[in-house]
């Protein structure tokens, strides 16, 4: 069994896969950045191991976009679980063609999401990951990383609005039925959520025009769980990044 761990700036998603790529365990919780070694050691002992009785873990595959805690997380995994694994980076996938000025800048989350999508969909691909940041990856028709877009995420956007205009009311993350708001709350919800959706869909249209061809559109990331039904023309994949970690590990190891 393979433990895949996606550590983002806001959330951690852990998924255990068997040899047939079936999910046998999933868990999502807030990313902790302080006293990381202590926290992740306790998480593994108290909240992870008690729930995976009968699952024989042999390795892990990690994507972590918080460099300050990567070493501590890996140390906790090794000491508590007694298994080895890999931390995804461009060095992990040397055959993946990356069309960036500095290819080594490409983060593990972009890499894993790309591999997860390429295992299920035909290229070219437009991958929208709604997390702390809204990230759009472009995979060209040859299965190469063409480039991407990074913008403030769903949570950051509303936090900024409330911080700079503190007299505005608190609002729920609910997409209003109409784009035109009829009061302060629905106007804010529309600008926040319809605005996010329109931005991603509009950028996807512009990307296709730039590529000169239609692309498969895929939506993933923590906020996509609540918003995916309001997107048009996007397939929804809740565990795309973890599936990509599975694919990356599988490509470099015969079994687990």
Active site residues: 109
Q: Which residue, chain included where needed, has tokens 């996007």?
A: 234
**Do the Cβ atoms of 196 and 227 come closer than 8 Å?**
yes
For residues 251 and 122, what is the distance between their CA atoms, to the nearest angstrom?
18
H/E segment holding residue 117? helix 108-118
Distance, C-alpha 160 to centroid of its chain: 22
Instruction: For tokens 């995916």, name the residue.
Output: 228
Q: How would you class 46 by CB atoms within 10 Å of its CB: exposed for 0-12, middle for 13-18, buried for 19 or more?
A: exposed
């Amino acid at each position: 069994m393979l433990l895949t761990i996606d550590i983002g700036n806001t959330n951690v998603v852990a998924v255990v896969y068997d040899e047939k790529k079936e999910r046998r365990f999933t868990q999502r919780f807030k990313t902790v950045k302080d006293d990381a070694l202590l926290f992740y050691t306790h998480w593994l002992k108290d909240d992870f191991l008690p729930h995976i009785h009968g699952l024989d873990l042999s390795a892990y595959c990690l994507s972590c976009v918080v460099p300050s805690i990567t070493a501590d997380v890996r140390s906790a995994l090794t000491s508590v679980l007694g298994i080895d694994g890999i931390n995804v980076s461009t060095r992990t996938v040397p055959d993946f063609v990356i069309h960036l000025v500095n290819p080594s800048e490409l983060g593990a989350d972009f890499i894993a999401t790309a591999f997860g999508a390429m295992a299920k969909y035909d290229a070219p691909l437009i991958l929208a990951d709604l997390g702390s940041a809204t990230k759009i990856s472009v995979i060209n028709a040859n299965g190469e990383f063409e480039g991407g877009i990074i913008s403030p995420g769903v949570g950051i956007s509303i936090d900024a609005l409330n911080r700079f205009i503190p007299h505005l009311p608190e609002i729920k993350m609910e997409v209003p039925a109409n784009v035109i708001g009829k009061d302060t709350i629905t106007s804010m919800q529309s600008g926040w959520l319809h605005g996010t959706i329109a931005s991603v869909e509009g950028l996807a249209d512009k990307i296709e025009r730039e590529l000169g061809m239609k692309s498969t559109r895929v939506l993933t990331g923590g906020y996509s769980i609540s918003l995916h039904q309001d997107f048009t023309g996007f397939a929804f994949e809740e565990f795309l990044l973890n599936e990509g970690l599975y694919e990356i590990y599988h490509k470099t190891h015969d079994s687990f």
